Structure 1
């Protein structure tokens, strides 16, 4: 493979303009297609093959009017006053009047002061007034589909809220209008800016720092456009785009950074620039291909779980990584060829940049010598710190909130005034193909009304499909007293499902759906898949690393380290987002259901990246004659700067997504940033080299019988490292280990 990559790198360098034009043409083509087709993302979640998934399908089939209503924009306006809403009548009347001016309001005569509405019709009082008249609800429905809402619509509502709050009256909103996302790209811009600064420090030159950003912009643009185009044919949830974007930016810049760094090193060895580009792609490119393939395998394996949103994220992430690898192997050498001798000129004079010589005393070398001298403290302190960070993971609760941070105050008022369960009603669907559903539905209503934790059981009723009393399907909306993610709500859902055998005996069927049931089923399905997936990924990591490092100890160290970094990431994420430690997150909530399993796949791939780029150089120097400890220091010399830069870039890109108002992006960004911090700086930079130093020559041992069976992955590019050099013999001065 190294020879093929050498030719690809040289070709791209020599035919730079054709390669650059091809990439630009591809980007323009997909952007144009998106502009013409204008695909739209789905806002809902589906879970085929589960009880809630079946309920959703039946609601779609037999209650199209319900589904149509759900597609329309509906926003809940909450008003609250400690001294009672009746003391703010004029102010609330003005609010209702302003709300009626929103575009395409359905039945504007119903958008009124809840105190007035309750007085006119006492029967609806419990649904519009709560907390003894201190909290009120105004429902605003618009004849606009959720997907057609714009940021201007949201700004119009926010302006009305701001103008009418005050004087002791709290005014908040939750629902469709508040969930409109601004497409400002602030997180991406911050990530790019920090990455640019880091690469300036790494290369000491502006153009060299700029080149990886170009590939990231092109690669991510193509990936997102392809994902958007797929929404024309498939139901793609918008949450997938945020995760694909952050991963695409991070790996694109990282892989480009590795190639550019190696190219500079190859230029310093002499020879033709095109051959230097070929050697860079043949050596560092081999590691990039391996690292990228590892990530792709890990995220594609998520498809077997059978959950659409996980499949979308896995497939999108795989495409992002594939394009990042392709850009690193072709677009990077083409851009290096286009800039020529100016790629690393002019150098920035105030940035001291040590060249990668064999006798330079860099910070990485000093760290390597320290680790080699006293490995045990680094091992103990590193693993103890990660174990301590993992402790909060024992309290992990899984769920999925579709609300944004802007909606938190309104959600709190809803819970205070009308009970926590109003945010997540259960939809009970009863269906009979052969007889009217009415008798079964009447009995089911009586049974459910007698269950614990049902709000207003006396008013519980059912609606039929088109046939009414003679229809085949009934829908019962059950509001729990407890929060959607609570154990009490889960118990209520299971108790309703436990009535299913009674319904079955009557020739009908019962299913429980709604967003709360979907999230509960999703969490259960992911919980069931988490351990098997972790075992598969850990096993895969171990087997692949045996082939890469020709060792048993190094893969074992790396795999155990991966487990520690994942558990520590779970722990710190639970502490911040669920438990509210340090006050960083005010709107605490359960951990997103799919985060743990998706994180395992992504962190596995990223862990292999840093293991490959740092430890392979140690092995390379060891097999070329250095002692085990000298090889470790040499590995730090050649790999510490680039791995540190790559990790800082990834952390910055991921952490920038915490600025997003979307819960999924915020939590995933924090978790990925934490994972890279733990894995790159604690495990790969400290613990793994320390254990190798402690083991010495034994670290690189592989039984002869196993050595014959295991495939030898030449990711160091040994076969091309001297191509194009007139004097291929390099005399290396061993780096002192102490």
Structure 2
């Protein structure tokens, strides 16, 4: 590989314009692919096969109007007063006009909805009054019938007595028979009236039962409202015809533009996260500041503006190629908005670092008086060889995300791998080409005066003391374990309005909704009930009341309301409003408890089958995604750790070095988790960074494993390979550790600072997801590079001495010789 890269570097240096033109053509092709294939990005996440996904599919089949995405527009008076008639009319007009927006299925006028609720309440009250009056009339009629029947029975007794006397005396009974006929007719009339009265009572009781079910449902739904109790806030509910993952960003933007286009005096408008959360910018002010910091580090490291600018230029070019290539496929696959941004983060960071490694090697060789073209080839075959290997490690770690079985994670890993792959290709082709054009101008004027002069003498390298190594190990491990403590309380979730930046539309909507309607109004659950079907209207209402009663009896349920029943009466949908917000522990517990409820007995209504419940909705979906990702994290960690051991055994031809390097990676990983939990979940320093505390992004731990593993192996490679090279060339094991550390520390420090600066710039992104990713990667690189690779690893290897490089002979014979540093190449190609 080293010889091949040497030849590639020489070709690029000699045919610089050909290589540059080829890369410009590649960029043009990817831009063309983007223009043709870009299909938009999604701000939502999903995992197939979840419980909420199955319920959503059921709704799409039976109740399609309830299966699409949903959102809320929040109107509130700026002074907290009740809406005026003019303001109410303005909001209602906006709600009515919004029905023509793209992909809108239904839109609810809050004032109409509240009026309908009031009318239903009044109708129930009137109905109950009428039922009470009807009962009073029936009771009075029954009393009259009973009195009439009593009178007829008394007359019948007298007639029977008279008939007996007449028969005994032998008198005729014709007159008595006529009286009997009259009595019989009167009794028949009483019986007929009794039948009518009984039927009326039956109907009245049925009406009373229906009214009681209606009253019960209204009472259970009383906590769900669209106009606040003080009349200062109104919620306009929107239901989209498209599912959440398929809803175009243009449709959300249309909602935002429409409701903001006609402001109402004295009324502010905000939007739930489902609507307001859009696609964040690929590069913003924070990212620009990170690049500027990286440029300063490069200037200090390389000593000239040209040399410092080159890694940034090539990295940005590579980011352009990688981002356009990834986005070209967004029309074919569902792509989350964070996917290309992750590629930009990685492509920018590793692109700068990889070019830096090659330029730094070339610069040192130029100062020694090497021919520029030969120096470029040798730098590409040595430092470039290490870059290829380091990049391959990151690519493999990212591609390993496919083993999780989570489509959006696999796509993120693949997109990141593409960006890193492009960065490696740029580093070993475009960087040598530009270096070939620059020649010795890469060096500053002052540096060019020192070409060929002996290097300044430095102090001889000494091995560290054993006492120092032991103290370093204890302090480093203790520091990492202390930082990792918060990771024990790690809670996973997806961002909601509470975690959005303060002052944003979604954060404002979340806060106002929580204050006016309760925390649970920000994350209602959608519960389905499988009904028997073939029901009468009363039976349908009774079963709805039965299900709502069961749901309302659960702990942490604030309100329940039925919203629809399918035409075949086999599926009913209910809205359940929890007591607390969508990311609260109680809501998570409620979702599990609802799913664990036994089937509800119908009590003989309809068929004999019981009612099975299902739980969906955004809050339930987020919980399902977080649980699924938590389940695959251990598997992925095992895969990455195993991969780490195998790769490092191959590179370092040692068993103990890979073990301690992997152990150090695990320590720094959990310390990174701890720092992330402390800031993003506990809220330490959150105000300083403009962060709202909440659960940790559900896929962040897995992403951090893959990326930080690859980057940790990069730094391990650039430090430990120098140690091994010194040891192989005859230096005592402990001295070789010090020599290798000194030869690689400056470039590793610079590379680490660059990565921290680039990743840290994303902490100030407008997107909560990007913020947590940037923070986790910046802290992870900082801890692993400075604490693990530059403190812990050298100290441990000092203690191990020669044992650090032990490898069984049989395994040594099996392993191929991987010359990562290109030592063999240096022996065959001379600088001068």
TM range (shorter): 0.7 to 0.9
Q: Which moved more, 1:317-326 or 1:274-283?
A: 274-283
Task: State whether structure 2 residue 471 is matched by structure 1 residue 377.
Answer: yes
C-alpha spacing 1:436/1:496, structure 2 compared with 1 (3 Å): farther
1:235 offset after TM fit, Å? 0.8
C-alpha spacing 1:129/1:472, structure 2 compared with 1 (3 Å): closer
Q: Which moved more, 1:574-583 or 1:403-412?
A: 403-412
Partner of 2:235: 138
C-alpha spacing 1:647/1:90, structure 2 compared with 1 (3 Å): farther
Matches within 5 A, 1:313-712: 313-346=412-445, 357=455, 359-360=457-458, 374-403=468-497, 404-405=500-501, 406=504, 407-429=506-528, 442=544, 444-457=547-560, 459-464=561-566, 468=567, 470=568, 473-499=571-597, 506=609, 511-582=614-685, 583-584=687-688, 585-712=690-817
C-alpha spacing 1:112/1:386, structure 2 compared with 1 (3 Å): same
Does the Cα contact within 8 Å between 2:53 and 2:621 map onto a contact in 1?
yes
Partner of 1:732: none
Say which SS state the counterpart of residue 259 (structure 1) adopts: helix
Q: Which residue, 293, 302, 305 being the options, matches 2:404? A: 305
Q: Distance in 1 between matches of 2:354 and 2:465?
A: 27
C-alpha spacing 1:726/1:325, structure 2 compared with 1 (3 Å): closer
Task: State whether structure 2 residue 74 is matched by structure 1 residue 77.
Answer: yes
Q: Which moved more, 1:45-54 or 1:571-580?
A: 45-54
Q: Distance in 2 between matches of 1:98 and 1:272?
A: 77
Q: Distance in 2 between matches of 1:355 and 1:513?
A: 73
Does the Cα contact within 8 Å between 2:14 and 2:433 map onto a contact in 1?
yes
Partner of 1:12: 12
Does the Cα contact within 8 Å between 2:289 and 2:761 map onto a contact in 1?
yes
Does the Cα contact within 8 Å between 1:80 and 1:134 map onto a contact in 2?
no
Q: Which moved more, 1:589-598 or 1:492-501?
A: 492-501
Does the Cα contact within 8 Å between 2:16 and 2:433 map onto a contact in 1?
yes
Say which SS state the counterpart of residue 575 (structure 2) adopts: strand
C-alpha spacing 1:140/1:444, structure 2 compared with 1 (3 Å): closer
Q: Distance in 1 between matches of 2:15 and 2:512?
A: 63
Partner of 2:390: 291
Does the Cα contact within 8 Å between 2:763 and 2:774 map onto a contact in 1?
yes
Does the Cα contact within 8 Å between 1:425 and 1:477 map onto a contact in 2?
yes
Q: Which residue, 129, 140, 147 being the options, matches 2:249? A: 147
Q: Distance in 2 between matches of 1:386 and 1:353?
A: 44
Q: Distance in 2 between matches of 1:572 and 1:102?
A: 48
C-alpha spacing 1:447/1:109, structure 2 compared with 1 (3 Å): closer
Q: Distance in 2 between matches of 1:428 and 1:483?
A: 17
Give 1 or 2 for the bigger CA radius of gyration: 2
Say which SS state the counterpart of residue 451 (structure 1) adopts: coil
Does the Cα contact within 8 Å between 1:372 and 1:629 map onto a contact in 2?
no
Does the Cα contact within 8 Å between 1:114 and 1:136 map onto a contact in 2?
no
Partner of 1:262: 361
Say which SS state the counterpart of residue 715 (structure 1) adopts: coil
Q: Distance in 2 between matches of 1:356 and 1:65?
A: 79
Q: Distance in 2 between matches of 1:252 and 1:505?
A: 66
Q: Distance in 2 between matches of 1:275 and 1:248?
A: 28
Does the Cα contact within 8 Å between 1:455 and 1:480 map onto a contact in 2?
yes
1:197 offset after TM fit, Å? 1.5
Partner of 1:110: 109
Q: Which residue, 185, 188, 213 being the options, matches 2:312? A: 213
1:118 offset after TM fit, Å? 8.6
Q: Distance in 2 between matches of 1:491 and 1:356?
A: 71
Partner of 1:34: 34
Does the Cα contact within 8 Å between 2:35 and 2:328 map onto a contact in 1?
no
Say which SS state the counterpart of residue 557 (structure 2) adopts: coil
C-alpha spacing 1:705/1:359, structure 2 compared with 1 (3 Å): farther
Say which SS state the counterpart of residue 326 (structure 1) adopts: helix
Partner of 2:153: none
Q: Distance in 1 between matches of 2:749 and 2:767?
A: 29
Partner of 2:181: none
Does the Cα contact within 8 Å between 1:96 and 1:113 map onto a contact in 2?
no
1:677 offset after TM fit, Å? 0.6
1:15 offset after TM fit, Å? 1.8
Q: CA deviation digits over 1:158-188, x for unaligned, max 9? A: 79889747xxxx8654345532346372133
1:483 offset after TM fit, Å? 2.1
How many residue pairs are counted as aligned between the two chains?
706
Q: Distance in 2 between matches of 1:321 and 1:670?
A: 20
Partner of 2:214: none
Q: CA deviation digits over 1:462-488, x for unaligned, max 9? A: 432xxx2x1554433322222222332
C-alpha spacing 1:451/1:262, structure 2 compared with 1 (3 Å): same
Does the Cα contact within 8 Å between 2:108 and 2:236 map onto a contact in 1?
no
Say which SS state the counterpart of residue 781 (structure 2) adopts: helix
Q: Distance in 2 between matches of 1:91 and 1:670?
A: 47
Q: CA deviation digits over 1:268-287, x for unaligned, max 9? A: 44544333222212211221
1:38 offset after TM fit, Å? 3.9
Q: Distance in 1 between matches of 2:476 and 2:89?
A: 60
Does the Cα contact within 8 Å between 1:382 and 1:682 map onto a contact in 2?
yes
1:646 offset after TM fit, Å? 0.7
- Structure 1, unaligned stretches of length 5 or more? 728-738
1:526 offset after TM fit, Å? 1.9
Say which SS state the counterpart of residue 428 (structure 1) adopts: strand
1:142 offset after TM fit, Å? 10
- Structure 2, unaligned stretches of length 5 or more? 122-217, 242-246, 602-606
TM-score (normalizing by structure 2): 0.76
Say which SS state the counterpart of residue 46 (structure 2) adopts: coil
1:581 offset after TM fit, Å? 1.0
Does the Cα contact within 8 Å between 2:223 and 2:559 map onto a contact in 1?
no
Say which SS state the counterpart of residue 73 (structure 2) adopts: strand
C-alpha spacing 1:389/1:312, structure 2 compared with 1 (3 Å): same
Q: Distance in 2 between matches of 1:161 and 1:684?
A: 57
Does the Cα contact within 8 Å between 1:80 and 1:413 map onto a contact in 2?
no
Q: Distance in 2 between matches of 1:387 and 1:339?
A: 48
Task: State whether structure 2 residue 47 is matched by structure 1 residue 47.
Answer: yes
RMSD of aligned Cα (Å): 3.8
Q: Which moved more, 1:254-263 or 1:632-641?
A: 632-641
Partner of 2:168: none
TM-score (normalizing by structure 1): 0.85
1:157 offset after TM fit, Å? 6.3
Does the Cα contact within 8 Å between 1:371 and 1:686 map onto a contact in 2?
no
